[in-house]
């Protein structure tokens, strides 16, 4: 069996999978935040439509990151994939269900003018958008802190073993961080009253998010100091991540939402990187005495498979990154309520003109709806 000590293909693919998860949490993180906040930030339907439209053209491209992360884990580390997905089957099924509900809510909310139809999706969207980071946070916290496993690497406890105090804290910290991340994104992508309201929401969310992130960082640092194979990188990444998150509040207060958003973006990447640094070279930590943890060397595919995957990744990863950058650039314009208020139709103008001639004041000035 190979052992750690040099940068090999197993380490390369562990790093690539970590990067995929960092990309997912960074990009879909503010998507989740928008989904959690838009029904509360928007005072009427055109405003809610404008807020949701900030992610509507690109949200599904961000989901590619989690799909590729799962696929890469299956191909590069089949032992890790088998143990994690079979051990936490119900949790991953709940995550998949929440992803489906969220996707349908984004796409279907504005397909019907009925207000009750839209209000139902306005309830489903925040719940599913909060459930996904909470459940993913508990999974990542559990596999780094340790779960009961047997000598074959199979998880021996049910899904309830995931919900320790640390994993629940991690889940709530992730939800709060993404809500803050989303509020700052909306402050960058909207204008007029929406921009200022999003900034105020971010300032209100910053104290609880900071408190949860401080608790998560301290707890993680204490555990990593005693249990991580390479504790120095973990502690450095945690400290930098906390500083980046802490800076977002003062920057938002100084009316610099783009810089504040950059702070939460950096914090997201650094904190996820810290969890993977805590894991390495393990992929799942065993909390059962006498049962070894799973490592990148014991769960990896053969060398030829990893070489083929590396060549494929070298070709397609730059393409995906270029497309992602292009999409963000194309859909960079700020949105406002006025962009989603439907002007009177020609038929309405004709009816309004006839009503005016007859002196019927009630025929004019119909309330404006919102467009697709």
* pLDDT tens-place string over residues 249-285: 999 999 999 999 999 999 999 999 999 999 999 999 9
Structure tokens at 239: 């400290």
372 has pLDDT over 50: no
Q: Write the pLDDT tens digit of every residue in 48-70.
A: 888 998 988 888 888 889 999 99
The secondary structure of residue 175, as a DSSP letter, is: H
pLDDT at residue 356 in the model? 45
The secondary structure of residue 3, as a DSSP letter, is: -
366 has pLDDT over 50: no
- Looking from the CA of 33 toward its CB, the CA atoms found within 13 Å total 30
Structure tokens at 220: 């993680």
pLDDT at residue 340 in the model? 74
pLDDT at residue 269 in the model? 95
Q: What is the mean pLDDT of residues 103-121?
A: 86
Cis peptide before 197 (omega within 30 of 0): no
What global pTM score does this model have? 0.85
Percent of the chain clearing pLDDT 90 (strictly above):
58
88 in helix, strand or coil? coil
Q: For residue 342, what pLDDT band results from cuts at 50, 70 and 90?
A: low
């Amino acid at each position: 069996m190979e052992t750690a000590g040099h940068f090999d293909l197993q380490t390369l693919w562990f790093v690539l999978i970590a990067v995929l998860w960092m990309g997912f949490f960074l990009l879909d993180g503010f998507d989740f935040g928008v989904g959690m906040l838009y029904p509360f930030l928007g005072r009427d339907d055109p405003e809610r439509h404008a807020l949701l439209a900030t992610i509507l053209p690109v949200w599904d491209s961000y989901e590619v990151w989690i799909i590729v992360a799962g696929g890469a884990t299956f191909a590069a580390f089949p032992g890790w994939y088998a143990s994690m997905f079979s051990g936490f089957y119900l949790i991953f099924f709940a995550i998949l269900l929440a992803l489906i509900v969220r996707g349908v809510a984004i796409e279907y909310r504005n397909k019907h003018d009925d207000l009750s139809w839209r209000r139902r999706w306005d309830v489903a969207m925040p719940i599913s958008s909060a459930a996904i980071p909470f459940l993913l946070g508990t999974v990542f916290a559990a596999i780094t802190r340790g779960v009961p496993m047997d000598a074959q690497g199979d998880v021996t406890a049910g899904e309830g073993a995931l919900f320790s105090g640390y994993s629940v804290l991690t889940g709530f910290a992730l939800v709060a961080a993404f809500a803050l991340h989303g509020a700052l994104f909306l402050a960058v992508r909207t204008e007029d009253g929406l921009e200022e309201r999003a900034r105020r929401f971010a300032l209100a969310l910053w104290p609880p998010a900071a408190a949860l992130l401080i608790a998560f960082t301290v707890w993680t640092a204490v555990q990593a100091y005693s249990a991580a194979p390479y504790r120095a990188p973990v502690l450095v990444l945690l400290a930098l991540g906390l500083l980046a998150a802490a800076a977002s509040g003062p920057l938002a207060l100084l009316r610099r939402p783009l810089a504040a958003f950059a702070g939460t973006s950096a914090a997201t990447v650094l904190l996820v990187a810290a969890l993977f640094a805590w894991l390495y070279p393990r992929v799942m930590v065993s909390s059962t005495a006498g049962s070894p943890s799973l490592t990148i060397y014991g769960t990896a595919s053969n060398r030829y498979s990893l070489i083929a995957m590396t060549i494929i990744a070298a070709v397609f990863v730059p393409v995906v990154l270029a497309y992602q950058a292009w999409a963000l650039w194309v859909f960079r314009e700020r949105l406002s309520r006025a962009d989603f208020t439907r002007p009177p139709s020609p038929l309405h103008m004709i009816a309004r003109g006839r009503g005016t001639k007859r002196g019927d004041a009630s025929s004019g000035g119909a309330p404006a709806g919102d467009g697709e």
